[in-house]
Structure 1
Amino acid sequence: MKLTRFSLLAVVLVVVSSPIYAVNQESSEFNVRITIKESCNISTADGSELDFGTIDRASKDANANNNLAVTCTQGTPYRVALQSPRLMINTKINNLSIPYMLYQDANQSKPFGYDIQDAYSNTGTGNTQKIPVWGQVKQTDTNVPAGQYSDKVTVAISY
């Protein structure tokens, strides 16, 4: 009997309270939006140097490789140029230099361009993409006085 009274009381409360909520209801709307802009980031992936190592004077070609890391929004076309005079300068005697080349492929058939027009090109995936950089110094260009030679390359990306 107590259970029946409790059940009846619960039903009455639900029936009485239902119209209260329905009578005082209002609504409004709002927009939800996002704007995605194209973006690209670039850095060196495997250290900050392309190191040809140490070789004997005029003994052989010197080859080295490294990777750049590019992250562009999905579907964003981009171009990467490697800007430098392509001359490693002796660190002690400024008028001594060694020319070198930078390539987009291991076969060294496609040079990296100096400017955006002759650059490596691809389309972003939203994930980091590795771009290989292959370098070569010809044997004949290493017939120079012993010492350390270096150059600084600026990596330029346009998108």
Structure 2
Amino acid sequence: MRPTPSRLFVAVLALAAAAPAFAAVDTTNLNVTITITSICDIHTVATLPVNFGSVSSIATNVDQQGQLTINCTPGTAYTIALDNGQNGTDVNSRKMASGANLVPYQLYRDSARGPGDVWGSTTGVGGNVLAGSGTGAAVNVPVYGRTPSANFPAGTYNDLVVATVTY
């Protein structure tokens, strides 16, 4: 007698149910890594110049403010240094030039513009750089300027100071 399809199906099911199930399992570890390096960017946003504007030659202690913008990796310690400019031999002799004529000025880390606030490029003990710590967001850093006297020949005076971030 030949088995019918339904009997054959039931027989196969019975054998499958009676047969032991053999399953194998194996594992491995998968490493996931990232290396994040610190960075500080001082030129993401254009600087705002220290523009003393148009003043009469009798003006004294002309104050103005510019701005740098810095963006550093969160927790990254940094310093910002300002050099002597094109016409200064040190930070205490910065000058704007119009031809051979020179107008002295100073840049400061604080709006009080005191002698201890002069912003330069000296690091370490007695340094005059600006120190900070990154937040991961762009941070505006004011640069305070003062020219003690405008008693110089009429003209447009300029200087270029290089700002450097070290981290």
TM class by shorter chain equals 0.7 to 0.9
Identical aligned residues as a percent:
30
Residue 128 (structure 1) aligned to one of 123, 132, 138: 138
TM-score, length of structure 1 as denominator length: 0.76
Q: In 1, are the aligned partners of 2:57 and 2:154 still within 8 Å (CA)? A: yes
Looking at structure 2, the residues matched to 44 and 57 of structure 1 have their Cα atoms a distance apart, in angstroms, of: 36
Note the residue ranges of structure 2 that are not aligned, 5 or more in a row.
1-12, 89-93
Which residue does the alignment assign to 2:5? none
Distance 1:31 1:108 in 2: 54
Corresponding residue number in structure 2 for 1:146: 154
Residue in structure 2 matched with residue 56 of structure 1 by the alignment = 56
Distance 1:130 1:48, change over 3 A: closer
Q: Deviations over 1:4-41 (max 9, x none)?
A: xxxxxxxx8xx98xx98x73654433210011111101
Alpha-carbon distance in structure 2 between the residues aligned to 1:113 and 1:47: 17
Q: TM-score, normalised by structure 2?
A: 0.72
- Quote the residue 1:6 is aligned against: none
Q: Work out the number of aligned pairs and report it.
A: 138
- Counterpart amino acid of residue 120 in structure 2: G
The answer to whether residue 101 in structure 2 is matched with residue 96 in structure 1 is yes
Deviation readout 1:59-85 (Å, 9 max, x if unpaired) = 232111022111111111110011122
The answer to whether the Cα contact below 8 Å between 1:45 and 1:130 also exists between their aligned partners in 2 is no
Measured after TM superposition, the shift of residue 148 of structure 1 is 0.6
Deviation track 1:48-69 (CA, whole Å, cap 9, x = no partner) reads: 4211000011223211102211
Matched, 1:65 2:65: yes
> Which structure is larger by alpha-carbon Rg, 1 or 2?
2
Structure 1 unaligned spans of 5+: 1-11
Query: Relative to total residues, which structure has the larger helix share, 1 or 2?
Result: 1
Q: How does 1:99-110 map to 2 (within 5 A)?
A: 99-109=104-114, 110=117
Of 145-154 and 27-36, deviating more is 27-36
